[in-house]
Amino acid sequence: MPDFTYPELPVDGLLRTAAERHPHRLALRTADEAVTFAELAARADRIAAFVRQATHGRPGARVAVANVLDPAFAAAYYGVIGAGAAVVLVNPLIGEDGLRHVFAESGAELALVPAATAGPLAKMRRLLPSLGTIAVTDASKALVPPGCVALHTVLETAPATCGRPPVDLDAVACVQFTTGTTGRPKGVRLTHRNVVANARQTALAHRLQSDSVTVNHLPLYHVMHLNSALSAGACQVLCTDPDPLVSLAVAAGTGATHYYGLPARLHRLAADERLPATPLESRGGSRLTAVLSGGSGLRPEAATTLRDLLRVPVIQGYGMAELSPLTHCQQPGPDRPGAVGVPVPGTECRLVDLTTRRPVDVWSTGEVQVKGPQLMAGYLGEDISARTDADGWFSTGDIGYVDDDGALWLVDRVGDIFKYDNEIVSPSRIERILATDPRVADCLVADWPDETHGGLVWAGVVLRDTPDDVHDVHDVLDVLDSVAARANEHLAPFERIRLTEALDAVPRTPTGKPARRLVRRRLKQQATC
């Protein structure tokens, strides 16, 4: 493996370096404002001074920050870390139960969150003894809930700068919670070294340069995009409009070179009837070099459609919170729709047999194991040694195989597969086949408990359109039966769909992943009634 090096910097050093090199260049753009690297660094410094005061300068104090797609998050993220504290990332879409879990598990003592998150948080404060000040980051646009303070108000009395404490690069810089698709969300402890290494790995894998312009068409701000752009000195354009055609117009208008989107949004974009008729200048313009997707699987047919219409590579990546998060990324070249790419620089990957745990050969299916400088320090309350083998390999819980070129192909999650008559069934494989039916807008497959066979294949289907001759529930059931029959022609006997259900929408987590665990719980309850 070629040598991989990354800066020996604390995480906030990414911003300081970019501000020193490109002080007057734009770091962030939105529909309402433009922020240079120097201005972003100044905002972060002022927040760092406030955090130092509020936490009494305790190294490693945990400060919760909501990752809204706004420059306020970038300033708060680097400001908290610059104060010697650790950022606890808070997804503002997780609801009150999720908020309570994140704050209770992390012990966050200070919160920098928007008003919509601050209100529920203030009401549950008595359940969170560690939590002190709740500062509202968007107080100029929303009312400050009772018991909270406006961040811009407290910053007025904070020093413009603060002394930077010595930084141990192996200390925790960030706590990021898993999505909870396989159980209660776990707090992942990421060190300065983890984050900075992965920022460099991502910048290399995505081919980011100082003249790159990235469009983030995401519901939330992901620190991978923030840190990798700062590592390269690239400009980020934050597009909060959910309309995918608007995001492409933003890409064209800003001269974007990279477009980031979640698979669920890219699926909608590929199916948008307006896309083929959209003028080329509204499809990203001549500077766009790639559309990049991650977080869950991008359907091969959607990737092919977008590639053909936008005339740029559509690149899939793979990773998880425990790995800071990126471990694999496709590279421009021969199309491999469905693959998630080769390991990013400095990363090792292997696949092991599910039973023997021995490495398997090329094209053989096994569990994906990874190691590299981006591997977490461990979950809250435990060391990484509890999650790795004697040689430092981390088991991801994903099942896949590697081809002759070293590209990884994912099959499913260990926790999602089930057995029918002792044969392993992959829900993701069946979903991919269902998705090729033009009548299917979205789908989710899970197991219906069965005493005889173990699990029957159940498919929840969102129909794209209701045909004119579909008038009642019986007609819908006929369409579902036809959809299942078409898919079953391409499935092995043990994979065949036995039950179908019409869905208005596939339930998903706040990050866009199918909420399969919740569906399986419902099916189990229904099966036992």
Structure tokens at 335: 């199309």
- The answer to whether residue 488 scores a pLDDT higher than 60 is yes
Whole-number Å distance between alpha carbons of 426 and 417: 5
Whole-number Å distance between alpha carbons of 84 and 61: 8
Tell me the torsion sign for CA atoms 214, 253, 292, 206: negative
Q: Closest by alpha carbon to 520, among 414, 461, 447?
A: 447
The rounded percent of the chain whose pLDDT value lies above 90 is 76
Whole-number Å distance between alpha carbons of 253 and 419: 51
Looking at the structure, give the CATH architecture of the domain made up of residues 36-170: 3-Layer(aba) Sandwich (3.40)
Q: How confident is the model at residue 289 (pLDDT cuts 50, 70, 90)?
A: very high
Q: How confident is the model at residue 151 (pLDDT cuts 50, 70, 90)?
A: very high
Amino acid in position 197: A
Report the pLDDT averaged over residues 43-59.
94
Q: How confident is the model at residue 284 (pLDDT cuts 50, 70, 90)?
A: very low
Report the pLDDT averaged over residues 280-291.
69
Question: DSSP states of 399-468 as a string?
Answer: EEEE-TTS-EEEEEETTT-EEETTEEE-HHHHHHHHTTSTTEEEEEEEEEEETTTEEEEEEEEEES---T
Average pLDDT over the chain, rounded to an integer: 92
Structure tokens at 327: 């471990």
Whole-number Å distance between alpha carbons of 435 and 10: 44
Q: Closest by alpha carbon to 175, among 242, 104, 118?
A: 104
- The answer to whether residue 279 scores a pLDDT higher than 70 is no
Strands 258-261 and 290-293: parallel
Report the pLDDT averaged over residues 229-255.
94
Provide the pLDDT for residue 183. Answer: 67
- pLDDT tens-digit profile of 434-483? 999 999 999 999 999 998 899 999 999 999 876 555 556 668 899 999 99
How far, in whole angstroms, is CA 364 from its chain's centroid?
28
The C-alpha angle 202, 206, 207, rounded to 5 degrees, equals: 110
Those residues with Cβ within 8 angstroms of residue 140's Cβ, 6 or more apart along the chain or in another chain:
150, 152
Classify 148 as helix, strand or coil: coil
CATH 3.40.50.980, the chain: domain bounds: 36-170
pTM reported for the whole predicted model: 0.87
Those residues with Cβ within 8 angstroms of residue 358's Cβ, 6 or more apart along the chain or in another chain:
352
Q: Where are the alpha helices (DSSP H) in 263-356?
A: 263-271, 300-310
The rounded percent of the chain whose pLDDT value lies above 70 is 95
Strands 497-502 and 454-463: parallel
Amino acid in position 447: D
Whole-number Å distance between alpha carbons of 428 and 460: 13
DSSP assignment letter at 25: S
Provide the pLDDT for residue 486. Answer: 97
Lowest mean pLDDT among 64-68, 113-117, 264-268: 264-268
- Per DSSP, which regions of 194-279 are E strands? 213-217, 235-238, 258-261
Whole-number Å distance between alpha carbons of 132 and 127: 12
Whole-number Å distance between alpha carbons of 193 and 278: 44
Q: How confident is the model at residue 5 (pLDDT cuts 50, 70, 90)?
A: very high
Q: Closest by alpha carbon to 416, among 402, 403, 427, 406?
A: 427
**H or E segment to which residue 254 belongs:** helix 244-254
DSSP assignment letter at 111: E
- The answer to whether residue 498 scores a pLDDT higher than 90 is yes
Backbone angles phi, psi at 520, to 5 degrees: -65, -35
Residues in a beta bridge with 176: 188
Report the pLDDT averaged over residues 487-495.
94
- pLDDT tens-digit profile of 170-204? 999 999 999 876 668 899 999 999 999 999 999 99
Is the domain spanning 418-528 CATH 3.30.300.30? The answer is yes
Report the pLDDT averaged over residues 410-437.
89
Provide the pLDDT for residue 63. Answer: 98
**H or E segment to which residue 188 belongs:** strand 187-191
Q: Which residues of 417-443 are buried (b: 16+ CB within 10 A; e: fewer)?
A: bbebeeeebbbbbbbbbbbebebbbbb
Q: Closest by alpha carbon to 112, among 190, 44, 162?
A: 44
Provide the pLDDT for residue 320. Answer: 95
**H or E segment to which residue 348 belongs:** strand 348-352
Report the pLDDT averaged over residues 424-434.
91
Whole-number Å distance between alpha carbons of 42 and 40: 5
CATH 3.30.300.30, the chain: domain bounds: 418-528
Classify 490 as helix, strand or coil: coil
Structure tokens at 98: 């999720």
Tell me the torsion sign for CA atoms 386, 389, 390, 391: negative
Whole-number Å distance between alpha carbons of 216 and 223: 11
Residue 242 and residue 253 in contact, taking contact as beta carbons nearer than 8 Å: no
Residue 378 and residue 163 in contact, taking contact as beta carbons nearer than 8 Å: no
